[in-house]
Chain A
Amino acid sequence: MAEPESLNTMFQNSFIKTGDGDYGLKIQGTAASGNVLVAISQTGSNNQVQSLIPTAARTSSLTASGQATNPTAGQALATTASLAIGVWDIEATGFVTWTTVPGVDSLNLELRQNAVSLGKIVVPVGGTTGAVANGVFKMRLNVTVAGALSVNVVGTPTTNSIYVTTVAATRVM
């Protein structure tokens, strides 16, 4: 193998053009495959170095929401598509209205992944008209077994209560 004539020659294949005036330092593969560590952008006379988030981190969120009057114990109110193996940021919210027994409904929504409980959403049910705000549950989950994310009712709710929930999951690694 011939010696490179200069450093420029030596590294010329390590940089690939990713846009007009933009170059990426290649680890392996191509820019399209996401295997670019950093990007060098030229804006006017300034060169800027920017870290690139791995392709997986740019995944659009999976979302679901649901509402039910007089839901049954164990009922899934919202179910997302299957979460692939990886690390996900998850945010779920819950709300209960038209209830008269705060103690029953304030801790009666559970977040599950692949049917395994992750924790409960605390819903601030403070009076006879239901929750005074939405309950929020946030976590980062290392998914080792692919499966859907769901928000389920745990026990039998107060008669005539209405449960609502929304959940979003974003893969970060």
Chain B
Amino acid sequence: MSTTTSDSRGVSWSVVGPFVANQVLATVSGLPLGYYEINVSAAFMGPMDQTMVTNLKLTASGNTLPIMSTSSNTNFVAFRNPTIYINLEGGEDVVVSVNNLSAALGTSAGSVIITRHQ
């Protein structure tokens, strides 16, 4: 409550496959108690593997939220996840990671931006 101004921080990633289950791509740590807005942009750049389209997840405060990164055949397509709001109790990490094992040899790239509102 003593915080009257918002602050943002962000982490980006660019990781070449193949990917293993629960592989961590980005971590934002040291977040104090508060109410946060989270925006994730992600993309997958070929060689194409559709298993990667919905193979990212955001973990925060014990919750696992889906992230969708898209790809269109051999094209590169960026994707911005819907804005998510979440309460954090403090001392928790916000992590972007891989859901399931994937043999995709392409590159997963993206960023997660977190803004504290209260």
A132 contacts which chain B residues (CB < 8 A)?
72, 77
Q: Is the CB of B68 within 8 A of A131?
A: no
> Which one, B77, B81, B83, contacts A133 given CB within 8 A?
B77
A67 proximal to B (CB < 8 A): yes
> Which one of B12-20, B84-92, B100-108 is at the interface?
B84-92
Q: Is the CB of B82 within 8 A of A92?
A: yes
A75 proximal to B (CB < 8 A): no
B31 proximal to A (CB < 8 A): no
- Write the residues of chain A forming the contact surface with B, with a CB cutoff of 8 angstroms: 18-22, 24, 39, 41-43, 48, 50, 52-53, 58-61, 63-67, 69, 91-93, 95, 97-98, 129-134, 162, 164-168, 170
B118 proximal to A (CB < 8 A): yes
- Using CB atoms, name the residue of chain B closest to A162: B50
- Write the residues of chain B forming the contact surface with A, with a CB cutoff of 8 angstroms: 1-2, 4, 35, 50, 53-54, 61, 63, 65-68, 70-75, 77-87, 118
A166 to B82, CA, bound (A): 7
- Report the minimum CB–CB distance from B7 to chain A (whole Å): 15
A and B contact pairs by CB, cutoff 8 A, 20 listed:
A19-B2, A43-B2, A58-B118, A59-B87, A60-B61, A61-B84, A65-B67, A65-B68, A67-B54, A69-B50, A93-B68, A93-B82, A95-B70, A98-B72, A129-B74, A131-B77, A162-B50, A164-B68, A164-B70, A168-B81
Known: A19-B2, A98-B73. A53 touches B118 (CB 8 A): yes
Most buried by B among A42, A97, A167: A97
B54 contacts which chain A residues (CB < 8 A)?
65-67, 164
Q: Is the CB of B80 within 8 A of A134?
A: yes
A91 to B72, CA, bound (A): 22
- Report the minimum CB–CB distance from B62 to chain A (whole Å): 11
Q: Is the CB of B66 within 8 A of A65?
A: yes
B80 contacts which chain A residues (CB < 8 A)?
93, 134
